[in-house]
Amino acid sequence: MQIINSLIPIFAVIGLGMILRQRGFLTAESTRAFNRFAYYWGLPLFLFYKIAGVESFASSENRILVALLAAAVLTAIAGWLVTTLLRIDPARRGTIIQACFRGNLAFLGLPLVLFLIDDLPAELFSNRQREALEVAILIALTPVILFFNVGSVAALAAYNSDTEAGFSWKRMGTSILQNPLIWACVGGVMAKYSQIPHASLVFGDSELEVFTAIQRTCSIIGASAFPMALVGIGSQLISVSGAAHWKASLLPTAIKCLLCPLLGLVVGRLIGLSGIELQVTLILCACPTAVSSYVLADQMKGDGDLAASTVVVCTAFSLPTLAALIWLTG
């Protein structure tokens, strides 16, 4: 039942995006607009109001972060070792390495785990516990996504057809500091521990709760992030070809969808994760390679065709993989 209630809706919306793009309802320009809105407004406001409004943080917060980050780092190292041992063309190594560890956590993994948390039995998990777990995951995602960005750039700078051409570490640092997800989390934590949640304005006999108004505004905008992003993923997937290098895509796909959650399981067990905390950690580890990895590989003179094929193949392979994980850990 978890598979039907949680996984199918995610891929159904992605499929809708593919249909809309194929029939000309969406274009490359509208897809970019969808993605930009979801990334710069929808998801940051969702993160802000969720973190600012939570009553207490979960004790598992640091452990989920450690497991996700450790799995990502170990998977990146595994990708480097495998490509080196197999003597894969250096021009392709950076593309493969980043595809091995850079998962689509924000727009595919996050809505999936939120569905799973929402389906937890009420007699075992209170609303407060669910909210605390959600925020623990939100806070854990930000440094992991930051590692994805830095690690991908480092891999492609080290291995591409024209190493570091047109690339600036200063520009990358500025980009990281401008990351809206980081500032949304920082702002949410600051708001939580400030007087904003308790502030109010009096108009005659009426009283306006400032934070309630802010929270509801953010919730309306934040609610649009996931459908827009998932439709955008589908639209982007239909626009790239997975046929040209599908055989070469099997290696990073296997590492991303199989080895990464296995490493997450080992680390998670070692640091004491279990139950729903371990389940959501493994699911996030098994998320397919992010579409943005293709864009970055193309910009940094990696193998754009291989990156595109990997995104398509990995996304298709992730459906049965994620279904198996939900079934085995549910």
pLDDT along the chain (330 residues), means of 10: 84 94 92 88 88 64 89 97 92 92 93 92 84 86 88 83 55 70 82 63 51 82 90 86 76 96 96 93 95 81 86 93 90
The CATH code of domain 2-329 reads: 1.20.1530.20
Q: Phi, psi at residue 75, to the nearest 5°? A: -70, -40
Per-residue model confidence (pLDDT) at position 20: 94
Give the three-state DSSP class for 161.
coil
Would you say 259 and 267 are in contact if contact means Cβ atoms under 8 Å apart?
no
Residue 119: CB partners within 8 Å, gap ≥ 6?
1, 2, 5, 6
pTM of the model: 0.86
How far apart CA 51 and CA 57 sit, in angstroms, is 9
Per-residue model confidence (pLDDT) at position 201: 46
Per-residue model confidence (pLDDT) at position 253: 96
Would you say 9 and 150 are in contact if contact means Cβ atoms under 8 Å apart?
no
Q: Where are the domains of the chain?
A: 2-329
Describe the crossing of helices 127-158 and 275-285 by its angle, rounded to 10 degrees.
30
How far apart CA 208 and CA 14 sit, in angstroms, is 40
Structure tokens at 166: 């047109």
Per-residue model confidence (pLDDT) at position 178: 74
CA 164 remoteness from chain centre: 26
Query: Which 8-state DSSP code applies to residue 255?
Result: I
How far apart CA 179 and CA 9 sit, in angstroms, is 28
Within the chain, strands assigned E span 200-203, 206-209
